[in-house]
Structure 1
Amino acid sequence: MSLVAQALCITAQNLIKGQTWAGNDVLLQPVYPLEAVMREGRDAAPVIAVFAEHTKFDVEGRATQGREARVELKFFVYNAPGTQRIIIDGAEAIEISLDTETAGLTLNAVARQIDAALHFGPDLWLECWNKMVLSIDDREIRYVLIEIEDGVKIPAAEIGYTLKAIPDPDFGGALTVAWQKFDAALKATAEGALVARLFETLITDPMGLPDWQLVKRNFGLTSGAIGTIGLGPYQGVTLPDGEVPPFNDHTVTPDALEP
């Protein structure tokens, strides 16, 4: 998964937490959500799993970060068996049985709540979403039955958004506005500081490469080219710590321009 896809998953998770009938049961992976659905003592309520199914980058030259990304973001909504009591606008509570004929109502209501949260969720995370998502090109809902045990099946819905998003950040670059907002939103949560530090390191200091190598890799330059323009060492010249020799110390030959 790419950094922008992972950041979008985290952003979407925090946007919809507490904004749907699933409450805070919004998982950041699709692998074992049924453990949350079926856990002992849990009230009957939906569980949501958020994940990026597919990410594709519009690449130019050797810059694999791309000019933009296309991310297939998925929300899987699982209905827990049982009866849920729901209060609507302070009115008398109504009961919805999540595994019978009213399950479709629940799934569609939660889908609507998710969509609303992506427009009106918590401000910090909404700013991240609006900076990272350039456009929403498609929205699709599929309904499925998930077998849980002994042939028992529960209703579920797969809600997919096709997003045109910002590209992955350059290696060794400073945090752009979008990533600054993501960093601030993470650090505002109790458990987000370490994740924020991980993202910052992956963006600003990948592999501890010297600056000239970061420029070379970000722009897809050859070893000869980076030396010729004076940003890196010339071929055949080795200096400690990536130090670049003065330009007038060397004569550039055609052989030095080879990759």
Structure 2
Amino acid sequence: MSLVAQSLLTILRGVLTNRTWAENRILEQPIDPIDDVVGPRGRPGKAVVAVYVEKVEGEPSGLETQRGMQEMTLRVITYVPPKLEVDDNGAPLRFDHSGAGLALNLIARQVEVALHVGNETWVNLFRKFAVKIKKRNTRFLLVELEESVRIPTMEQTFEVCTVAEPEIGTPIYGAWIEFDVALRTTPPGSKMADLMKMVIENPIDLTGPEQLQATWNLSDAAFEATGLAPLATDANGEAIDGVNDIISSPDIEVTPPDLP
């Protein structure tokens, strides 16, 4: 989808971890998010929060798809089991179906508070990657499983404006450096940090001129026209006559004005 979208998913997980009654059960774009929602028969289950990026839109500059601000649809979906038990500062709270709406509303509030305070490193990163929330929407859902088990669910949708994609083949910079540091200090995020850095800085082992061409999204002809393209060579690495011949010192004849 996009590197910004993937980064925002990871940032949201960092923002929400241990800041709601879902505790550390924050899942990124899961296919089946409610395996852990329903507890063993007769016992309370656990709340689970799943974060998704549904849509990414942008206005590229010419052919440069990585340029320009983007708009994304972020979804935070909370699932609570038929019987939910949480520990609120040492005081156990129990919710059943009759109290599911209250539990979901309280968790939704915890989600929105977490976007502003709590895990400060991730909150600051969220503010840098999502520069504006244009619209928010909340709705209740009821997910029905086999054996007529119903999972009360709340979906929070945020329409956000985000930063542009990182340049192609250039060293990470600005908020991307902060994101890299945050990943490396949150186990086991170092592998993801290495992967993201490689995809940004050297996606296909680009040489210096190739990085420049990719960043500007220039065709071969347009790149050669800039005068920055490398010399054309044959199979032996020798310069090809006729292709690289450039007259850099043209013959100029200066005719002085007629003197009286």
| Structure with greater proportional helix content | 1
Q: What is the 5 A alignment of 1:53-202? A: 53-87=54-88, 93-97=92-96, 100-202=97-199
Alignment match, 2:34? 34
Q: Which has the larger radius of gyration?
A: 2
CA–CA separation in structure 2 for the residues paired with 1:205 and 1:39: 45
CA–CA separation in structure 1 for the residues paired with 2:233 and 2:81: 64
Shift of 1:102: 1.2
User: Does the CA contact (< 8 Å) of 1:226 and 1:232 recur in 2?
Assistant: yes
Query: In structure 1, what residue type is equivalent to 2:233?
Result: T
What residue ranges of structure 1 are gaps of 5+ in the alignment?
253-259
Q: Please point out which of 187, 210, 226 is paired with 1:213.
A: 210
Structure 2 residue matching 1:30: 3-state secondary structure: coil
CA–CA separation in structure 2 for the residues paired with 1:105 and 1:54: 29
Shift of 1:214: 2.1
Shift of 1:52: 0.6
TM-score, normalised by the number of residues in structure 1 = 0.86
CA–CA separation in structure 2 for the residues paired with 1:75 and 1:85: 20
Alignment match, 1:14? 14
Task: Mark the CA change 1:132 to 1:85 in structure 2 (over 3 Å): closer, same or farther.
Answer: closer
Shift of 1:249: 4.8
CA–CA separation in structure 1 for the residues paired with 2:200 and 2:223: 21
User: Does the CA contact (< 8 Å) of 1:30 and 1:49 recur in 2?
Assistant: yes
Runs of 4+ aligned structure 1 residues displaced above 4 Å come to 39-43, 242-245
Q: What whole-Å deviation, never above 9, does each CA across 1:173-194 have from its counterpart, x for those lacking one?
A: 1212110110010001120000
Structure 2 residue matching 1:66: 3-state secondary structure: coil
Alignment match, 1:256? none
Paired residues, number = 244
What RMSD in Å do the two structures reach over aligned CA positions? 2.5
Query: In structure 1, what residue type is equivalent to 2:4?
Result: V
Task: Mark the CA change 1:62 to 1:243 in structure 2 (over 3 Å): closer, same or farther.
Answer: farther
What residue ranges of structure 2 are gaps of 5+ in the alignment?
248-260
Query: In structure 1, what residue type is equivalent to 2:102?
Result: L
